[in-house]
Amino acid sequence: MRVEVRLFGGLEKFVKDVRFGEGFPVDLPEGGRVAELLDRLGIPPSQVFSVLINGRHASLADVLREGDRVALFPPLGGG
């Protein structure tokens, strides 16, 4: 199955030729979870603070489905 991934806030540095916020496709085995997606991309789970699947808050254990749009964010700072 194929999902679309967008990386923000420096997470894009982990993946070659990927730009901040721009979607790219990732192929995963059926039933793959967010944790497996991170593994495939080489992003340490400790760097990921927030996961959205199709705009909905998700966790590393959530199972992905064909066509899902996944957005990954690092921790945020402030003022």
Partner 1 sequence: MERERYLRQITLPGVGEEGQEKLLRSRVLVVGAGGLGAPVACYLAAAGVGTLGLVDDDVVKLSNLQRQILYRTEDLGRPKVEVARRQLLSLNPEVKVEVWRERFAEDNALSLVERFDVVVDATDNFFTRALLNRACVARSKPLVHGGVRNFAGEVMTVLPGSGPCLACLFPLESKAASAQTEGSSVLGPVPGVIGTLQAVEVLKYLLGLGELLVGRLLVYDALSATFHEVQVTRNPSCPVCSKF
Nearer to partner 1, 35 or 52 (CB): 52
Nearer to partner 1, 6 or 30 (CB): 6
Minimum gap (Å) between residue 7 Cβ and partner 1: 11
Amino acid at 53: I
Q: Angle at Cα 10 formed by Cα 8 and Cα 13, nearest 5°?
A: 110
The site for partner 1 (CB under 8 A) is made up of: 6, 8-10, 19-22, 49-50, 52, 54-57, 59, 71, 73-79
**d(C-alpha 60, C-alpha 9), whole Å:** 18
Nearer to partner 1, 9 or 41 (CB): 9
* Of the candidates 61, 57, 65, the residue with the CA atom closest to the CA atom of residue 73: 57
